[in-house]
Structure 1
Amino acid sequence: MAPVRTTIVVTGTVLVVLYAQLMYVVTQILTPLSTVPGRTLGQIAVAAEAGGEPVFTPLAVALPLVGVALAAAVLVAAIMFPVFRTEWVALAYLALLVCGLPAYLGVAFGVGMSLGDLGDVLPIGGSDSEVWLVLASTSFVACFLALGVGAGILVHRAGRGVGKLAAFRPAR
């Protein structure tokens, strides 16, 4: 595998795995602790269970794992099938990072609503962890990079087609 492709595959996989881990930490640890200050996760979990609120759900674990599984699939495809161009491999990793933000917002919205509904049982501080901005920034940067890579692919393809068009001359 070429050094550039190896760098893209390793960096892309590591970034998606780190993104997924941070998504889990923000939704399942930092947000509950900052929303209900002075309480432990165990106390919050007991109050949530007693109130019937789904703060700690399997979806918050499964969704980041889907991202990791997709990154692993891109990794395996990039290694096993060199027919996939390096630009497309990079675009796949960038797309995973872009799609991480809607996934995070979906999980975080449910967690936030459940924590808000616990206001009768626990003193809610109302604040939220600002670490989610790292996830949002990463997704926005990945979006702009994906647009750049996509534009580069289009320009490259258009450049290849110009020679063919110039060589074609209709009969008069």
Structure 2
Amino acid sequence: MASGLASAESYQSHDYIDLGFMNNDFGSGFTVAGSFDVKQIEPLVVIGSYSQTSDDYDFSRVSVGAGWKLPLNVQHDLFQRIDLFFHGEIENIQVSGTGNYYCVTPEFGAPMCVSSSLDESDTGLYGGALARWQLTDKLELLGDVSIRTTRDFNIPVMIGANYSFTKNWVLNAEYEFGNYDHISISARYQFN
């Protein structure tokens, strides 16, 4: 069991960069994210991300922040390890574009057409707690509850999983729901 736990620790990296596909309420696009351990202050992690999607509307989100790792020394038959990660970020969200074009033809008269357009930008705070359950040497489940002040106050919830193909290469999948939903799948390279 000791060798399995040592192996699990290597897969619990917070030193990574990932690139992936994202689909949200505004369309499809890409996401880039990174997380880097601050070696001089052991539990501190610097985090950042950028995502962009488009369809009828263009959506972009950029965030930078920091996190604090808290490994829990809990051992159980169902999992190898649990870590908590508390994070706080400053984020900027921009949404713009012309949405759907609607035409209504009244009983008498000419058709009336309306298009919906949107051009918003907001900067706010985003923070919460992420739990990472290491089930096996290769599979990790994720759960996050956060508070977001950007684009209306809300409490998004994220569930996800990481599957490690090797010590360095990981497949990440996440689903977040709140005021707007998104799903993402990404390839992650961990600097172990």
* TM-score for both structures, normalised by structure 2: 0.25
Structure having the higher Rg = 1
TM-score w.r.t. structure 1 length? 0.27
